[in-house]
Each structure stands twice: as C-alpha cells, then as structure tokens.
Amino acid sequence: PSSRPLCVATRVPMGPLSLLLALSLLSPWGSAGGSCPPRCVCASNLLSCSQANLSTVPAPLPRFTAVLDLSHNNVTRLRADWAPVRLPHLHALLLSHNGLAFVSTEAFTNVPRLRHLDLSSNRLRTLDENLFSDLGELEVLLLYNNEISTVDRTAFENLGRLRKLYLGQNRIARFPLELLREGTRLPQLALLDLSANRLRAVPAGELQALPAWLRDRLYLHNNPLVCDCPLFQLLDRGRRRHLSAVEDFQDELRCFLAGANALVKILDLAGKEPLNCSKAREAVLEAHLGDTVTLGCDSRWQGVRSRHWVTPGGERVLGDGGNGSVVLLTNGSLQLRALRPEDGGTYSCWVAGPLLNETLYVELLVHNFTLHGPHDTLNTAYTTLVGCILSVVLVLIYLYLTPCRCCCCRGTEKPPAPRDDSINSSVLSTTPNHAGGTGEPCGSHIASSAGTGQNGRFKGGGTPPLPARQGPKAQRKVSDPDSVSSVFSDTPIVV
C-alpha cells in the first residue's frame, strides 16, 4: 500500500493584531472602493481614529462607515461641514475627550441614522435650541462631564426614540423635567442621569407621578438640594420599592438643612427636627361608597410580559367581575366601580418582568358613607333650609291658630278686678240663655238695654254688672280681656 502523508490540523493562536489584519482583508477598505484615512485603524465598517492627535475630522469618510471613533483628540469645534456627504450607515459617533466647545445645530444633518452619540468629557456649556432635532433615531446620548449650565427645552426635540440621557457632572441648576411627562418630547426615556449638578429643588409631586420604571433610573444624587418633606417622601418611597437610583446611592443623596453647615442624608430625616417628616405610605387609596377608583400596577420593569391581580379575599381577577364592577384595563390597572364596604382591603398585582418578577400591594380604604359633588351638597343645604322654615311655620300655627279646646264655657269664673280707667258697660255683652249659671253654650249672647250710665256688662256665669264710671271724660276701653262680645245675638234687644 502506498503511504500518503497525514494532514494534521493545528490551531494557531490569533492575537488582536492578527484578527484586525484578517478583518481588513475582508473589509471594503481593502477594495478599490475605499481607503482608510491616515492615522486611523479600519476594520470592516469600523473606523477608529482615537488618540491620533487630530484637530479636524479626517476626510473623506467612506459612505459605508457604521462606527466612527474620534475620541481623545483635539477636535474643539464640530461644524456643519464635518460630514460633507450623507453617511446613511453611521449609527455610532464617539467624540469624547476632545475639548469640544462648539457644536453646530446643523452638525448632524447628514447622519440621520445615528443611534449612539458620545459627547462626554468636553467643554460644552449650553445645549442650544433644536441641537439634536435631526437625530430622530437616537437612543443613547452621553453628555456627562461637561460644563453645561443652560439646557434649552427644545434641544431634545424630535428625539422620540431616546432611551438613555446622561447629563451628570455638569453645572445644571434647572433641567426642564416637564420633558419627562408621558406623551411629551421623550416618550421612551428610561434613564436620566442628573447627578453631580447644581440642582437645589425638584418637583417632588411631578416626579412621584412618573412611572416607576423611569424613577428607577432617575439619578439625583450629589446635588445641593434643599431639605423638605416632599423630597424625603419621594426618596423614601423609592427606597421601599428598591429603586436602583435610590437604593444604590443612599449615602450620596444629601441635602442642605436650615441652620446646618454641612449636608445631611435625606433618608435620615424621618421624625427628626426641625422638619419632623413622616414616613411615606406606599399605594394607599381612600374612597367612599359608590365611587369608582383605579388601582395602578406601577411596576419598575418596563418590558412587562404579563400581570394579574388578586383581591383581598384571595381571588384572582381574570376579567370583568360581577355586573362589570371589576374591570381590567389595557395598561394593567384594576378599576373598581360602585364601591361597597366589603371592597376595602389590600390588593396585590403580580408582575412578570423581563428579568425578575415583582409583587405590588395597593391598600384600599372604603369609607362607610357617600361623598357627593357640589350639586348634591347644594340640594342638602336647600332641604335643611326648607325643613327649618316648615318647623317655624308649625310653631306659629300652634301658638296663634290653635282652636278652642272646650265646647262649653265654664260655669264659674273669677270676676275680673275693677279698673278705674275702664268702662264697665258695653252695648255688646253676653247673657245666659237660662237661669242656671253652669253649662251654657259658648255661643249664647244677649245684649242688655242701653241707656245713659246703665249699659251693663254681664259674664256668662252670672257675674253681676259693674258700676259704670260717670263723667264727661270717661273713655271706653275693654275692661276684661277674658270676655267675649259679639254684635250677633239670639235674643231680642230690649230698649
């Protein structure tokens, strides 16, 4: 048999330089269609000109450049013509450590597909109007370790895909935090680093209303904040929820306390003078009978796969409850309608996140009375007023319009005391129908004869007539308020 040499495969170690050489043989830079700029290293669609002592961007740049690294050079100004032709494939531009002090508002016109922009560790002082408005696909923007003191709210216009914004270690005294509201200019922002700046106050109420997945990456440490209870409660809730921005930087979260010469830890202010801040209660809602409330499942995970609710009775909510009283909303919240006392308790939301699971608890307190709006309050006041008026009318009727409680006059009555200034005779008098002095009806009256000085007044009980007062100046007055007189009589008048 003929002997044939055996081929033995041996593995030759390949170092970084050999790998770069191998890539360069396969890259378009080695072809006739492009050439690598001087003092740069090129591999495939990567162009690295770092630490090349460049003062301008090398030209020309091939159109298929995807990553351009110009860090650690002396490019102090980035003009609009640094990329004279359109670079449709460029998605990463690194310009850190250049002493960069000026960036034209038209500098990114020819790189619209940029997703990663690093301008950190430079000398930028302002973020001008519409500075990054041409970067509609930008996802990561690094601006930390600059000298930025002014941020125009339109600098981040049209950055609908921005996810991470690093502005730490600058001189920012006010950042337009209204950009973080849902549905504003930065709808997908998931990380905002404002640490080590000059912020003295933040809108704690507005920040608490932000979703937990954004507050989990909102860094505010190493700022000269002024101590107050809303700030403490904002951070205390973050610590209870194990938010990274609070839990990982508890020692760096400090503030200025009135009368103190040094910064104090914000999370140590619970129950201490002079603020005496109370600890924050997490997710406690108060409602009344018949109200409609929505329980939010505010998870710190942004890419939630699934979630479900469990009632205080241990029942899992899968869909609409009885008669539509419990409704699962599309955003994962639980809506309770027509509240009853038995609806109170602690509800739990189970969240399946991309990395870990999370359980949130919401305590619902249902007060055992209804709380109506202004219209119902007015109706209640009106009803009370009408009731009072009716009560007064009934009292007046009782006092002045009560009918006679007896059908017959009393048989004996005490004669009234004589009065000197009254006339003891009248043309109208009551006389009994019978000789008896008792049991006469109240309606029997008789008029006695009239004459000068002889008009007598008689009571129904047979009271003798009183002597008439003589004299020309005699005045006629009612002498007995208890007597009853009438012009009508059932007996003839005797002349």
Which range of residues forms the domain containing residue 296?
A: 285-366
Distance CA 114, CA 87 (A): 9
Distances (CA, A) of 366 to 115, 252, 321, 340, 469: 49, 40, 18, 7, 83
Residue 154 lies in a domain: no
- Spatial CB neighbours of 376, under 8 Å, sequence gap ≥ 6: none
What is residue 191's predicted lDDT score, i.e. its pLDDT?
A: 94
Q: What are 441-460's pLDDT values in tens digits?
A: 444 444 444 444 444 444 44
Which residues pair with residue 254 across a beta bridge?
A: 265
Residue 340 lies in a domain: yes
Q: What are 130-168's pLDDT values in tens digits?
A: 999 999 999 999 999 999 999 998 899 899 999 999 999
Higher pLDDT, 29 or 188: 188
Distance CA 44, CA 27 (A): 4
Tell me: cis bond preceding 60? Omega within 30 of 0 counts: yes
For residues 101-115, average pLDDT:
94
Residue 303 lies in a domain: yes
Return the amino acid letter for 402. T
Distances (CA, A) of 325 to 289, 315, 442: 13, 15, 72
Q: What are 180-207's pLDDT values in tens digits?
A: 876 577 888 999 999 999 999 999 988 9
User: Locate tokens 């920012």: which residue?
Assistant: 172
CATH number at residue 308: 2.60.40.10
3-state secondary structure of 41: strand
Residue 226 lies in a domain: no
What is residue 425's predicted lDDT score, i.e. its pLDDT?
A: 43
Residue 152 lies in a domain: no
Q: Which H or E run contains 206?
A: helix 204-208
User: Locate tokens 């119902």: which residue?
Assistant: 376
Residue 326 lies in a domain: yes
Higher pLDDT, 34 or 96: 96
What is residue 321's predicted lDDT score, i.e. its pLDDT?
A: 52
Phi, psi of 151 (to 5 degrees): -125, 115
Q: Is the dihedral of CA 429, 433, 436, 442 positive or negative?
A: negative
Q: How many structural domains does the chain have?
A: 1
Distance CA 82, CA 64 (A): 16
8 Å CB contact between 275 and 236: no
Residue 323 lies in a domain: yes
Distance CA 433, CA 449 (A): 16
8 Å CB contact between 484 and 458: no
- 213: which DSSP letter? H
Cβ-based burial of 246 (10 A; exposed 0-12, middle 13-18, buried ≥19): buried
Residue 290 lies in a domain: yes
Which pair of tokens denotes residue 107? Answer: 């500098």
β-pairing verdict for 41-43 and 164-166: unpaired
Which pair of tokens denotes residue 485? Answer: 């007189």
